[in-house]
Structure 1
């Protein structure tokens, strides 16, 4: 199975297969479940609001909106 990784200046974000679709993670925290990896990517790039990221605005981290710009990881 494959997933996606983006290394930001604040740490790595992952989009991985989850229980109900795709899970976006940062550190040891799951940021949410998404119907597709592209939806997770879009939300992270545009500024995901999540209680685990209360002090971090993902829209300021230059997260790419295209999955092709993320690193592919095998899980």
Structure 2
């Protein structure tokens, strides 16, 4: 099974298969559930899914919007 990783200056973001689709995470924090990895990457890049990460606005971390620009990881 494959997932996706982006290493930012604040740490690594992951988009991995979840129970009902895909889940994005940062550290030990789950950031949300998504229908597709592309939707997760887009929302992370725009900073719309993570208001509870008050220390970091994900839209300022240069997270790629295209999932093809993320590193593939095997889980």
TM bucket (normalised to shorter chain) is over 0.9
1:70 maps to which residue?
70
1:16-54: per-residue Cα shift (whole Å, max 9, x none)? 000111000000110000000000000000013435412
1:38 maps to which residue?
38
TM-score, length basis structure 2: 0.94
- The CA RMSD measured in Å over matched residues stands at 1.1
Shift of 1:65: 0.6
Distance in 1, matches of 2:39 and 2:32, equals 11
CA contact (8 A) 1:48 1:57 kept: no
Consecutive unaligned residues in structure 2, runs of 5 or more? none
TM-score, length basis structure 1: 0.94
- Please identify runs of 4+ aligned residues in structure 1 that moved more than 6 A: none
